[in-house]
Amino acid sequence: MLPARKSWCTKLALGLISLALLAALLALAHPFPLIEDGHGGYSNAPNFWTTVAALSTSGLAGLFSIFAGKWRGRLVAASVSMFLLSYLALFTDGH
């Protein structure tokens, strides 16, 4: 039963790393326009939530990659790099 769990953790980690990459690239691109908040200001909420989704997905990928059977070191390194890329997207602010 244990090798089957490790296989599933490997597959989940690979899938989540690919989702984290897509979300991080989307967060770096800042595709959503600013929204007027009605008080004379603007909100950047959709872009912020894209960044939060990228951060949480890469963190979850890191959790599953710790319990993966195959390629554990590579999966951990990929999830850490996706987390750092997502963290970078938090500070780019669309530039």
Q: Return all residues near 55 (Cβ < 8 A) that are at least 6 apart.
A: 83, 86, 87, 90
pLDDT at residue 6 is higher than 90: no
Burial class (CB in 10 A: 0-12, 13-18, 19+), 38: exposed
Q: Which two tokens stand for residue 56?
A: 């949480």
Confidence of residue 30 (pLDDT cuts 50, 70, 90): confident
Q: Where are the domains of the chain?
A: 2-30+42-92
- Render pLDDT for 39-78 as a digit per residue (tens, 0 to 9): 888 878 888 899 999 999 999 999 999 988 888 899 999 9
pTM of the model: 0.83
